[in-house]
Amino acid sequence: MTRAKTLYLCTSCGGQSTKWQGQCPHCQSWNTLQESAATPKGATRALALNDVQPVQLLGEVAATTVQRTSSGLLEFDRVLGGGFVPGGVVLLGGDPGIGKSTLLLQALSKVSQLHAVLYVTGEESAQQVAARAQRLNVDYAQVALLAEIRLQSIQQVIEQRRPALVVIDSIQTLYSDDLESAPGSVSQVRECAAQLTRIAKTQGPVVVLVGHVTKEGTLAGPRVLEHMVDTVLYFEGDGSSNFRLVRAVKNRYGAVNELGVFAMTESGLREVSNPSALFLSHGNTPVPGSCITVTLEGSRPLAVEIQALLDAAQSGHPRRLSVGLDQNRLALLLAVLHRHADISCADQDVFINAVSGIRIAEPAADLAVLLAVVSSLRARPLPQGWIIFGEIGLAGEIRPVQRGQERLREAAKLGFTHALIPKGNLPRQPLEGITVQGVDRVAQAVAHAFEASTGRTNAQG
């Protein structure tokens, strides 16, 4: 018999190397290599020779539309792209305590009314899960529970019971007999996920894997986990508010960046089906540094308040900090502001926050961020009732954003009376209840916003 060879796997990218190094040769991360025993050769060979699929002509393959299974929660279905797809593997990541187990238990109880389901818990005892189910006030009588962390036992149970939905809470607690490394190590996580994916593809159950998130906000364990599965969802939200967002960052069966919105209550997660005004701070008097924008995260427009705070820098290296927005984008916007509007923040610390823990990934918020910055710098509030959006280019131009009309309509519905937007997004016909002003240069936008905030605040009708 040959001796098991030792391999080193990177916890960040999953890359392999044959000797230990301080830096991963694949992704250049430091101190991420972990020792793990190589998989015995025979195992892979047996898999490869298992059976050979026939070649087919694509024209002869009957295209089928998938029959989706509803999770029983419309907001959850929305991020999934319309429900669970049989044989699909979903990875749900999020900070501890954010509500992953709660959400899935709610979904399991709903699905169990129609289909067989299996909840595998490696983190909590059966009693703990039952206590939570009781608290949630859901019908959990038909939810099959398995407190087990050994992959082979789980496989056996799935084969016997043939559930339509399997939830693994969490993938980091599982271990496979085939490997010697400890549960949670890269090779174990990878192997267990690969085996469970294989089960989903061959036997057809939906498999949901719960994954922990590291301090950096990425899923613990190798990145390859994200490549293996069909759908990657992140559970987001900040500790101070009870709103929770589920975001699709990868989805083979639906749109990405779709958002599902929930509120955590005493009895579990409640769906928020009309979240458009959720991310406003509800202050009545305008304050410097606050600007409201409409983002399109997924298919729904959301009004979001952007706050900026500028303060004289204490050192030669002023700080640029943003919560909910990309830090590099902020640096870029400040440079554009300097070059194209002659407004310098070089001696200021700049802090930006998107209210209520939402994360904005689209550049349509650029103009609102910039005007919030100028508003804080000048200690002058933007006029009340204004909504602002637009993408900013390096040449100081303001570019149109997608689905501008939809954003405007939403703003009008929420009672905003004035919109400052890219010229390219100007509506052909005037919209009822909202005065729209188009701008195409950064300097022009700044002039409009602050001219209005002193003299012509009530100019719009």
96 binds ligand TYD (CB under 6 A): yes
State the number of binding residues for Mg ion (CB under 5 A). Answer: 1
Q: Which is nearer to ligand TYD, 245 or 421 (CB)?
A: 245
Q: Which does 99 bind (CB under 5 to 8 A by kind): Mg ion, ligand TYD, none?
A: ligand TYD
109 binds ligand TYD (CB under 6 A): no
What CA–CA distance (Å, rounded) separates 253 from 258? 12
Site string for ligand TYD, 133-172 (x = CB under 6 A): --xx------------------------------------
- Contact residue for ligand TYD among 33, 73, 98, 302 (CB under 6 A): 98
Q: Which does 118 bind (CB under 5 to 8 A by kind): Mg ion, ligand TYD, none?
A: none
Q: Pairing mode, if any, of strands 33-37 and 89-94?
A: unpaired
What CA–CA distance (Å, rounded) separates 116 from 112? 6
**3-state secondary structure at position 354:** strand
**Interacting stretch for Mg ion, rule CB under 5 A, among 62-70, 101-109, 236-244, 285-293?**
101-109
Q: Is the Cα dihedral 99, 101, 104, 108 positive or negative?
A: negative
99 binds ligand TYD (CB under 6 A): yes
425 binds Mg ion (CB under 5 A): no
CB of 75 to ligand TYD, least distance (A): 16
* Token output for 445: 């936008």
Q: Which is nearer to ligand TYD, 122 or 183 (CB)?
A: 122
293 binds ligand TYD (CB under 6 A): no
Q: Give the 3-state DSSP-derived string for 231-281, with helices as H, strands as E and coil as C.
A: EEEEEECCCCCCEEEEEEEEECCCCCCCEEEEEEECCEEEECCCCCCCECC
Nearest residue to Mg ion by CB is 101
Q: Which is nearer to Mg ion, 154 or 310 (CB)?
A: 154
* Token output for 437: 């002003």
With beta carbons less than 8 A apart as the criterion, state whether 365 and 301 touch: no
The β-bridge partners of 9 are 16, 34
- Contact residue for Mg ion among 32, 101, 231, 307 (CB under 5 A): 101
Q: How far is CA 252 from the centre of its chain?
A: 15
Q: Which is nearer to Mg ion, 101 or 172 (CB)?
A: 101
Which 8-state DSSP code applies to residue 377? H
CB of 100 to Mg ion, least distance (A): 5
Give which of 433, 437, 439 is closest to 417, Cα–Cα: 433
Burial 434-443, CB ≥16 within 10 A → b, else e? bbbbbbebbe
- Contact residue for ligand TYD among 120, 168, 233, 264 (CB under 6 A): 264
| End-to-end Cα separation, the chain, in angstroms | 86
Q: Which is nearer to ligand TYD, 177 or 266 (CB)?
A: 266
101 binds ligand TYD (CB under 6 A): yes
H helices present in 364-403, as ranges: 366-377
With beta carbons less than 8 A apart as the criterion, state whether 317 and 294 touch: no
What CA–CA distance (Å, rounded) separates 373 from 332? 13
Q: Which is nearer to ligand TYD, 100 or 247 (CB)?
A: 100
**Interacting stretch for ligand TYD, rule CB under 6 A, among 216-224, 264-272, 278-286, 421-429?**
264-272
What residue ranges bind Mg ion (CB under 5 A)? Answer: 101
What residue ranges bind ligand TYD (CB under 6 A)? Answer: 94, 96-102, 132, 135-136, 264, 266-268
